[in-house]
Chains A and B, each alone.
Chain A
Amino acid sequence: MSWDEMSVHVGDIYRLAISNELRGYGFWLDGSEWQYPEMPMADVGSPYGPRPSDTVTQVHLRWGDVLNDFSDFTQMPDPEAFDPAITQMEKVVERLSVTATIDPTTEESIPPNGMDGHINSLSDVRLASWKGDAADEFRLYLAHLGDKTGHQWALAWVLLNALRAEQGIWQRAQVDVDQVAHKALSRLSGEGSGEGGGSAGKVLNALTTLAGFALPGLGSTVKVFTATGAVAQLASLLPKEEGLPGDPSHIISDMRDDLRKVKEAVEQKESELHDELTSVAGAVSRKAMEYYLERPSLSKPGNIRDKRGTFS
């Protein structure tokens, strides 16, 4: 559901809340005008004073905040805004993939980047007869290049999945907010409790420990980020106590409670993501030498002597 559609639903929730409360006092709508019973307001249960117009005004004021209840959600990041960066990070992962790999989260295959063949060709053929310290050092450099690139790949993969998780958090938040709005609408219009949302019961598991995926400094396991599942446990969002059918007090209260839970869940998941990334950064900082090789002598200027004996 787009935010334009959402604003339509929020407007409907506002109008239905007003309508349901006024109807509870015996009011009825005639065209666009609210008509009221002949009996005194106190007798029909209105707490807003003796004049029917005061009741109508106060009921409108009472539910006016409903229009603001969704305002924070209209300013959520757009999940689609992460698509280009995710595509870019997928390419980074591909470029650093020394061996054929299966992406543990998507289970799609990542082809090898082909550098292994070049490394073997260099060590076994091209540079095989080259002698000396610089030669030995460079061959050693090439021998370890695959491992270090593998560690860079792992880091790229963590970054990729962090983006997927961030996107997933906002995608699920959109779905959850949509369901909260629909649930409130259904209950206000007397069409049921609004239960039975397609994703009810799913829980976002933004951080999953993936055994066997090693990242230097973090041991043999690393938490990775999955992009599926609901931000909030929708089963717990369902009303704990059913109010009167269509009673706006209970329904709007439940709706606000649901929205608060979605907000809390989003904040918690983003916080987990932040903490995990910070943890990985700390591990990388402690084991930085696992991610690159010392600059070989061959790469340094001044180690090549020309025919006049001058270093360049």
Chain B
Amino acid sequence: MATEEFVAGVEELYHAGVVEVPDIATRFTSAREHLPGPTLEWAFSRAGSIGYSSHGPWQAWSDLAEDLGGFIGRTERDLIDAGANLVKCAENYAATDDAIRANLDDVRAEIDKEARTPESKIDPAHTHGDD
């Protein structure tokens, strides 16, 4: 049987992997999803001989936006994977010990309950799909 301290530590790992780390990742997911895509090119285009080339500074803007998208996406992916692995760690511990498993079940139920309570949900301003 695991010590109480160890059981509590596993609970924290699980909570971190299910709630906090994914919540940080949503900021990056949302940022990445709001980056304007290639369709913005039409806004820069002009048929006449005016301005800097036929698409102005579009290519330079697009290249830089692509760099930023890469940085954001990389951070987002690392956080999502880290969260998943924290959960996996906690579940592996739970598979070896009845006390940990029971506590983890309680934590899961608590997180599910919080997720169903509207006021406890993550601030919608920081999640994707909000606009």
What residues of chain A have their CB less than 8 Å away from a CB belonging to chain B? 71-78, 81-82, 84-85, 88-89, 91-92, 94-96, 113-115, 118-119, 121-122, 125-130, 138, 141, 145, 148-149, 152, 155-156, 158-159, 162-163, 166, 169, 263, 266-267, 270-271, 273-274, 277-278, 280-281, 284-285, 288, 291-293, 295-296, 298-301, 303-307, 312
Q: Chain B residues near A127 (CB, 8 Å)?
A: 12-13, 16
Identify which of A74, A78, A114 gathers the most chain B CB atoms within 10 Å of its CB.
A114
Beta-carbon contact of B49 and A304 below 8 Å: no
Residues of A within 8 A of B43 (CB): 77-78, 81-82, 85
Looking at the assembled complex, report how far the CB atom of B86 sits from the nearest CB atom of chain A, in whole angstroms: 7
* C-alpha gap A73/B51 in the complex (Å): 10
Known: A95-B34, A273-B56; 9 extra A-B contacts, CB below 8 A, are A71-B48, A88-B34, A118-B20, A130-B9, A155-B68, A159-B61, A166-B44, A278-B60, A298-B82
Q: Which residues of A contact B28 (CB under 8 A)?
A: 95-96
Give 8 pairs: A residue, B residue, CB < 8 Å, sorted on A.
Answer: A75-B50, A115-B27, A127-B16, A155-B64, A159-B61, A162-B61, A263-B50, A293-B78
Q: How far in angstroms is the closest Cβ of chain A from B81?
A: 4
**A307 touches which of B13, B67, B96 (Cβ 8 Å):** B96
B92 contacts A270, CB within 8 Å?
A: no
| Cβ–Cβ contact A274 & B52, under 8 A | yes
Q: How far is the CA of A149 from the CA of B24 in the complex (A)?
A: 11
Instruction: List CB contacts (< 8 Å) of B112-131 with chain A.
Output: 123, 125-126, 131
A291 and B61 alpha carbons, distance in the complex (Å) = 17
Asked if residues B40 and A85 are in contact (CB atoms below 8 Å), the reply is yes
Known A77-B45, A114-B126, A284-B67; contact A303-B57, beta-carbon cutoff 8 A: no
A270 touches B34 (CB 8 A): no
Does A271 lie within 8 Å of B52, measured CB to CB?
Answer: yes
Q: State how many residues of chain B have any CB contact under 8 Å with chain A.
A: 59
Q: Which residues of B contact A96 (CB under 8 A)?
A: 27-28, 31, 72
Contact in complex: B64, A277 (CB < 8 Å) = yes
Q: Which 10 A-B pairs have the closest CB atoms?
A: A75-B48, A270-B52, A277-B60, A274-B57, A72-B48, A95-B31, A81-B43, A299-B81, A126-B16, A85-B36
Task: Return chain A residues, CB-CB under 8 Å to B47.
Answer: 75
A292 close to B71 (CB less than 8 A): yes
Cβ-neighbour of B49 out of A72, A162, A298 (below 8 A): A72
Task: Given the known inter-chain contacts A76-B50, A130-B13, A152-B71, please indicate yes or no for A312 contacting B34, CB distance below 8 A.
Answer: no
Cα–Cα distance between A294 and B23 once the two chains are bound (Å):
20
CA of A100 to CA of B52, assembled, Å: 36
Expressed in whole angstroms, the Cα–Cα distance for A284 and B45 within the complex equals 26
Is A91's CB under 8 angstroms from B12's CB? no
Please state if A95 and B126 are interface contacts (CB–CB under 8 Å): yes
Mask of B58-84 contacts with A, CB within 8 angstroms, 1/0: 001101110110011011011101100
